[in-house]
Amino acid sequence: MDAHKRPRVLLCAGGSRGDVEPVLHVARAIQERGVEARLLCHVEWSRLADGTGLSWWPLAGSSSHVRGGDRRMKEEEAQETWKKQLHDLEAASEGVDCILFNWFTAYAIHLAEKMQVPAVALWLTPFTRTKEFPCFFFAKSM
């Protein structure tokens, strides 16, 4: 990377407001450190980026489909949305130096690998077992 070039980072945040807002705070924090931060999220959360100076990029679909909402997507619709999300991700990632992603955009790691740029997972809960917290996929309470 050119020493005079401002680093560019894409932050991918699919899901509900509770999934997107923490990523937005990370974006603002790195932006304050001189990094160009781009936020990729569903249209319904784009207003969260208003007035922050972040560039916002649309992510196809809706968080209501993720959480079940009024209706769940049919398989054909889900496949079409998935294709659109991959297209959105690729468009938003043009020229970035690093990609950060949350659980709902974990597929971004594959594009980062293709682009040969670092990828960083922004997990809001532990995904691997610790002494204090079991892996939530296999928790006894489930």
Query: Residue 37 forms beta bridges with which residues?
Result: 9
pLDDT, tens digit (0-9, with 9 covering 90-100), for 3-44: 568 999 999 999 999 999 999 999 999 999 999 999 999 999
Give CA–CA dist 62/6, Å, rounded.
Answer: 32
Q: Where are the domains of the chain?
A: 8-138
For the chain, residues with pLDDT lower than 70 are: 1-4, 65-73, 136-142
Kind plus residue range of the DSSP H or E element containing 20: helix 17-31
Are the C-beta atoms of 92 and 11 separated by less than 8 Å? no
The dotted CATH code for 8-138 is 3.40.50.2000
Predicted confidence at residue 106, as pLDDT, reads 94
